[in-house]
């Protein structure tokens, strides 16, 4: 049984209602209608995942933004579902990764049921498939203007202490970085952020001169830190963020944990319905 979790998540009411109507029509047309539940102030994504589990649903579909999907992942708590995603947000990074453009291709993808097993990352009891950021973050660089982003990238470097794979400790003076499982630029041919290789990629950005910052601002905004000179790239299975204590780890701007925190990869853990044009 399909269980659809609909999340307005900041969308104007009229646009959300329109998308909801379009979705219901398409689900009936593709004969994949199941139970549909809407997130409200009284029913969180967590509550709806619990309800889906009680009703015996096998496939959970998040309909909303990337945040909706991430909240759904966090609410799984080890329970076994096949997951899908239908984007209500045209800027969705996850939609690009999965090869879905809009509600129509989302429904068509769910109906196609092309399932891929992908790696799942775990942090502080929560799960994610995409990436986490710390320090100066690409999410902020993307959202701000040129001058504000240059100011952020000219800020003082922080001293990070990170333990990798319980094997070595890395001490680095840098601006920030990211831990990637999947990015919108991921592919099976890519060595970095390949969601099927059973590894996480830790990328740490060092402080740069103004000219270099200007030249590579777009790479940083896209999270392509490996294209910035002097960036450290570490492939690993487990990362313990030790110092500086209290520094937030964020997912699309939402704080999910603070240093000290531990991130690890669970290979091939997630069954995900993906589109033909997926990036991996």
Partner 1 sequence: MNTMLEENLNAPAETVVGPSVKIQGDLNSEGNIKIEGQVTGKVKTSQSVFVIPGAKITADVLAGNAMIGGEIQGNLKISGHLVLQSSARITGDISCTVLRVEDGAIFSGKCAMAGNGAANGKKGSVEKDLEIEPE
List contacts with partner 1 (CB under 8 A): 157, 165, 167-174, 191-192, 204, 206, 226, 230-235
Q: Least distance from C-beta 168 to partner 1, angstroms? A: 3
CB closer to partner 1, 70 vs 279 = 279
Q: Least distance from C-beta 216 to partner 1, angstroms? A: 14
Q: Least distance from C-beta 268 to partner 1, angstroms? A: 17
State both tokens at 155: 């800020």
CB closer to partner 1, 108 vs 158 = 158
CB closer to partner 1, 50 vs 165 = 165
- Between CA 72 and CA 60 the distance in angstroms is 9
CB closer to partner 1, 199 vs 279 = 199
CB closer to partner 1, 146 vs 188 = 188
CB closer to partner 1, 97 vs 192 = 192
CB closer to partner 1, 21 vs 159 = 159
Cα 138–chain centre separation: 13
CB closer to partner 1, 115 vs 172 = 172
- Between CA 63 and CA 98 the distance in angstroms is 14
Q: Least distance from C-beta 157 to partner 1, angstroms? A: 8
Q: Concatenate the DSSP letters of all residues of the chain into one string.
A: -EEEEE--TT--HHHHHHHHHHHHHHHHHTT---EEEE-BTTB-HHHHHHHHHHTT-SEEEEEE-HHHHHHHHHHHTT---EEEEEES-TT-HHHHHHT--SHHHHHHHHHHT-EEEEEEEEETTEEESSEEEEES-HHHHHHS-HHHHHHHHTSPPEEEEEEETTTEEEEEEESEEEEES--TT--SS-STT-TTSS-EEEEEEPP--HHHHHHHHHHHHTT-GGGSTT-EEEEESEEEEEESTT-EEEETTEEEEESSEEEEEEEEEEEEE--TT---
- Between CA 109 and CA 251 the distance in angstroms is 25
Q: Least distance from C-beta 226 to partner 1, angstroms? A: 6
State both tokens at 186: 């991921």
Q: Least distance from C-beta 9 to partner 1, angstroms? A: 36
Q: Least distance from C-beta 218 to partner 1, angstroms? A: 18
Q: Least distance from C-beta 249 to partner 1, angstroms? A: 20
């Amino acid at each position: 049984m399909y269980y659809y979790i609909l999340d307005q998540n900041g969308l104007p009411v009229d646009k959300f209602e329109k998308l909801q109507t379009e979705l219901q029509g398409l689900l009936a047309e593709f004969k994949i209608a199941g139970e549909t539940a809407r997130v409200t102030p009284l029913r969180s994504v967590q509550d709806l995942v619990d309800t889906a589990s009680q009703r015996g649903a096998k496939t959970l579909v998040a309909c909303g933004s990337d945040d909706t999907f991430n909240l759904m992942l966090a609410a799984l708590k080890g329970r076994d579902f096949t997951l899908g995603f239908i984007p209500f947000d045209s800027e969705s990074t996850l939609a690009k990764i999965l090869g879905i453009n809009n509600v129509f291709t989302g429904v068509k993808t769910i109906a196609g049921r092309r399932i891929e097993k992908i790696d799942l990352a775990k942090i502080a009891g929560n799960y994610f498939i995409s990436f986490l950021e710390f320090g100066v973050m690409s999410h902020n660089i993307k959202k701000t203007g040129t001058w504000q982003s240059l100011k952020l990238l000219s800020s003082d470097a922080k001293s990070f202490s990170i333990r990798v794979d319980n094997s070595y400790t890395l001490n680095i003076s840098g601006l920030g970085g990211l831990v990637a499982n999947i990015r919108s630029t991921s592919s099976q041919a890519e060595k970095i952020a390949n969601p099927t290789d059973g590894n996480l990629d830790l990328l740490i950005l060092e402080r740069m001169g103004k000219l270099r910052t200007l030249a590579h601002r777009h790479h940083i905004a896209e999270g392509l830190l490996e294209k910035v000179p002097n960036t450290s790239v570490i492939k690993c299975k487990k990362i313990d963020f030790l110092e500086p204590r209290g520094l937030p780890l964020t997912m699309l701007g939402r704080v999910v944990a603070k240093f000290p925190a531990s991130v690890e990869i669970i290979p091939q853990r997630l069954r995900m319905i993906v589109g033909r044009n997926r990036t991996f």
